[in-house]
Amino acid sequence: MAKKKSAEVSEAQIAVHWQEEELIHPSPQFVSQANMTDPGIYERFSLDNFPECFKEYADLLTWYQYWDTMLDTSDAPCWKWFVGGLINACYNCVDRHLDKYKNKAAILFVPEPEDEPHAAVTYQELYVRVNEFAALLRDFAGLEKGDRVTLHMPMVPELPVTMLACARLGVIHSEVFGGFSGQSCGERVADSGSRVLITIDAYHRNGKLIDHKVNADLAVEAARKSGQIVDKVLVWSRYPGQYHSASPPVEGRDFMINDVLADYAGARVDPVRMAAEDPLFLMYTSGTTGRPKGCQHSTGGYLAYVAGTSKYIEDIHPEDVYWCMADIGWITGHSYIVYGPLALAATTVMYEGVPTYPDAGRAWRIAERLDVNIFHTAPTTVRMLRKAGPDEPAKYDYHFKHMTTVGEPIEPEVWRWYYDVVGKGEAAIVDTWWQTETGGFLCSTLPALQPMKPGSTGPAVPGIHPVIYDENGEELGAGTGKAGNICIRNPWPGAFQTIWGDRERYVDTYYAKYCRDKDSKDWRDWPYLTGDAALLAEDGYYRILGRIDDVINVAGHRLGTKELESAALTVEEIAEAAVVPVVDEIKGRAPDMYISLKPGFEASKETETRVVKAIEEMIGKIARPKHVHVVPDMPKTRSGKIMRRVLAAISNTMDIGDVSTLANPDVVEGIRVLVQGEGKVALKKGPEDIARFGDEG
């Protein structure tokens, strides 16, 4: 049964957290050099000109053959863009820049140890490395067009080299964030049907050289249990010629890439001409059930969309030094470190490590040293840097013309520090709202055309036409002060094509709710459900309030509560587990875990430790709960459902509301005391996403 959730909130309630903010205009210096200063772009990308408007983005690319159909809706809601077109993503990101830019840096790599020199990979060097590795993938690993290969790699230049080599061959890459556990990686290997896994021996993080190859052994084993055999593990070396892992290479299965590459020195591989609609990559993300979804992104549509948005929203020119601090293991890194910037012949910076090691000045030293002028990060990092070193940016001589925030709502006071201190009052900021599924930005200001509003993502980007629906499918227009489910009316080229191997889940999750006619081939009948609640101000700027499903946005990354709960339930003594979001000063939200024990077991510190360990092993450290509360019983409805809303209210010291209709109202006070201590604490008016969390409607 579909969950019914009420997202209706009055403006007065929201104003507790969000006041109308003043508008801030970009500087004339920014505007005078911006890629997009023509307000006519909105008219060109209006619904009247849909879908032909997207030719403007596709024309930023080099095609072997133009498409004959701009948008094919015959398999609705699996939209096909640029049908008949032939293109190669690697060619567009590398080869075509050689004439003009071969000696320009494509990638600047900053290792974590500050005494290790930066590496500049020129476009020519990238071309050579990608070709040699593509030859290895084809001739040594036997990979061909349409095969899937899983990458479990950290932030090293070999990661984009691997992605581009796959793209050159038409092999579908599925990069799993390096911080995910071997077990998580193995599940994704199995789901995607990869028989090759590409990894590295080790990488630096927070002052330690982390052994990463051990995860490959766990991943191969986890995949085998799910019926997928990995026959080759290809291992890059953090330091070629050395080996920094306690796990020895497995004879006949594991191969050190640098050794094998010697056979392919000087090799050249013709880029494979791909249909625009052929998949380029998979990117897994969390949903409401425990199983992650492999979002399948296309070649032509995706690349056109990220090139267009990189040019106009990120304002990237080939002369710029652009630094997005995200990890390539997430969609932000795919779209806005690798594919978008490289399609535009930019210099893209990647760094190894964490923002605050060895100290809170590191980011600004990097910016100064490399003369970065476009900076891109998430609110969680801004909060972290603000806390650890509020005065650090002023000590360094760098100047950003443009900055991005992405991944979660940013509080206006955090936005102001970003603007005044990090951006030194000079940089235009874009607050970009989008998702793994959407490939690229959905909402943001066009930086030279519209003023910034702290805490608001801005209007929709050109060619995106959002609509906010209430539960009954009525539109909530501008200035109504009511929040609802934000949807996108129209398809766009960057949108994912389906969930890998699960079209039904794709349709159910993203289209079923507001579809007007399931047999329709008209895109107008298929609004895309983003899964976020939002409201639209009078001036056309959207405010994103957060997820409407059981997904917690931790430090800008999505974690499904079901994934955490299933991991906890693998601990023998645990009978029930429930996860709720708790407000966290740095991460925005963090998971709070409630567990109850099977009869005969006593609450102990060891149980808590085992839960944390199970989560780290099955998902990864990013999912570590903030607290583990062992409770005698869970608050439940009469039908036996755990009332997560009550637990969320307790974790966040918010009003618990009426619990008299529960099956066991008496347990609530006991849990409250356990979490908040004896005595009454002052209640907070918590944020709206938490107030609604787990609401059974």
Name the residue with tokens 């001409």: 273
Determine the Cα–Cα distance for residues 293 and 283; give it in Å rounded to an integer.
8
Name which of 278 and 532 has its Cβ closer to ligand PRX.
532
3-state secondary structure of 314: coil
Report which residue's Cβ sits closest to ligand PRX.
Answer: 436
Q: Which is nearer to ligand PRX, 162 or 530 (CB)?
A: 530
Please report how close the Cβ of residue 3 comes to ligand PRX at its closest, in angstroms. Answer: 17
Q: Report, in Å, the least distance between residue 349 CB and ligand PRX.
A: 19
Phi and psi (nearest 5°) for 100? -95, -30
Continuous H helices in 140-181: 158-169
Distance CA 94, CA 127 (A): 6
Rounded to an integer, what distance in angstroms lies between the CA atom of residue 162 and that of residue 129? 9
Least distance between ligand PRX and beta carbon 469 (Å): 16
Which amino acid, 563? E
- The H or E element spanning position 533 is strand 528-536
Question: CB of 320: closest distance to ligand PRX in angstroms?
Answer: 21
Residue among 160 and 333 whose Cβ is closer to ligand PRX: 333
Kindly state the smallest distance separating residue 546's Cβ from ligand PRX, in Å. Answer: 6
Cβ closest to ligand PRX, residue 9 vs residue 272:
9
Q: Using omega within 30 degrees of 0 as the cis cutoff, is the peptide bond preceding 51 cis?
A: yes
Closer to ligand PRX by CB, 345 or 619: give it: 619
CA distance 375 to 277: 32
Residues 6+ apart with CB under 8 A from 204: 111, 112, 113, 210, 238, 352, 353
Q: What minimum distance in Å lies between the beta carbon of 587 and ligand PRX?
A: 13
CB atoms near residue 540 (< 10 Å): 13
What lies within 8 Å, CB to CB, of 516 at 6+ separation is: 524, 525, 526
Q: Outline where DSSP puts E strands in 138-260.
A: 148-151, 172-175, 196-200, 202-205, 208-211, 232-236, 254-256
Amino acid occupying residue 148: R
Kindly state the DSSP code that residue 36 receives in the 8-state scheme: -
- Closer residue to ligand PRX, CB minimum distance, 331 or 618: 331
- Residue 440 beta carbon to ligand PRX: minimum distance, rounded to whole angstroms: 9
Closer CB to ligand PRX, residue 392 or residue 408? 408
Q: CB of residue 507 vs ligand PRX: minimum separation in angstroms?
A: 19
Q: Min. distance of Cβ 425 from ligand PRX in angstroms?
A: 22
By beta-carbon proximity to ligand PRX, the closer residue of 111 and 454 is 454
Smallest distance from ligand PRX to CB 270, Å = 34
Nearest distance from residue 406's CB to ligand PRX, in Å?
5
Q: Name the residue nearer to ligand PRX (CB basis): 562 or 672.
A: 562
**Alpha carbons 133 and 128: distance in angstroms, whole number:** 9
Between 126 and 430, name the residue whose CB sits nearer to ligand PRX: 430
Shortest separation between residue 494's beta carbon and ligand PRX, angstroms: 11
**DSSP string of 463-508?**
T--EEEE-TTS-B--TTS---EEEEESS--TTS--EETT-HHHHHH
| Minimum distance from residue 497 beta carbon to ligand PRX (Å) | 16
| The pair of three-digit structure tokens given for residue 278, joined into one six-digit string | 């052929």
Q: How far is the CB of 566 from ligand PRX (least distance, A)?
A: 20
To ligand PRX, the closest distance from the beta carbon of 588 in angstroms equals 9
Question: Which is nearer to ligand PRX, 380 or 652 (by Cβ)?
Answer: 380
Q: Which is nearer to ligand PRX, 374 or 643 (CB)?
A: 374
What backbone torsions phi and psi does residue 601 show, to the nearest 5 degrees?
-105, 145
Based on CB atoms, which residue is closest to ligand PRX, 170 or 458? 458
d(CA 306, CA 658): 48
Question: What is the dihedral sign for C-alpha 624, 629, 635, 641?
Answer: positive
CA atoms within 13 A on the CB side of 477: 0
In terms of DSSP bridges, do strands 347-351 and 321-324 run parallel, antiparallel, or are they unpaired? parallel
Comparison of 88 and 435: residue with beta carbon closer to ligand PRX: 435
Q: Rounded to 10 degrees, what is the CA torsion of 592, 595, 601, 606?
A: -20
Of 138 and 558, which has the nearer Cβ to ligand PRX? 558
CB of 332 to ligand PRX, least distance (A): 5
| Contact footprint for ligand PRX (CB under 6 A) | 285, 331-332, 406-409, 431-436, 457, 530-532, 544, 546-547, 553, 556-558
Return the structure tokens found at 133.
Answer: 């590795």
* Residues contacting 390, CB < 8 A, separation 6+: 417, 421
**Long-range interactions of 47-53: CB distance < 8 A, separation 24+:** 47/465, 47/489, 47/490, 50/463, 50/465, 50/490, 51/81, 51/490, 51/491, 53/462, 53/463
Contact status, residue 328 vs residue 203, Cβ threshold 8 Å: no
Q: Which is nearer to ligand PRX, 187 or 431 (CB)?
A: 431
